[in-house]
Amino acid sequence: AKDGMPEIGTYNLAMVVAPDASAPVKAVADHIRATFELFRETGKF
């Protein structure tokens, strides 16, 4: 592993966003989803 750090293994991420969440909360949730999807596809953050 790079820099002596262990490899990142598999993960399970669950996120629940309230239907009436504010626009900033929804934007952050979308960003987190996109970030983890990119990690799933590339193995990199």
Residue 43, token pair as written in the block = 């193995």
Q: What is the pTM of this model?
A: 0.67
Supply the range of the domain harboring residue 40.
Answer: 15-45
Per the CB < 8 A criterion, the answer to whether 39 and 45 are in contact is yes
Angstrom distance (rounded) from CA 8 to CA 43: 9
- pLDDT tens figures, 2-31: 678 777 777 777 889 999 999 999 999 999
Total domain count for the chain? Answer: 1
Give a yes or no: residue 40 inside a domain.
Answer: yes
Residue 2 domain-assigned? no
Q: Is the pLDDT of residue 44 over 80?
A: yes
Q: Is residue 1 part of a domain?
A: no
pLDDT(39) > 70: yes
Residue 21 lies in a domain: yes
Q: What share of the chain is helix, strand, coil (3-state, %, to 5)?
A: 50, 0, 50
pLDDT at 1: 56
Amino acid 7: pLDDT: 77
Scanning the structure block, which residue is given the tokens 């983890």?
36
Give the whole-angstrom CA distance, residue 25 versus residue 20.
10
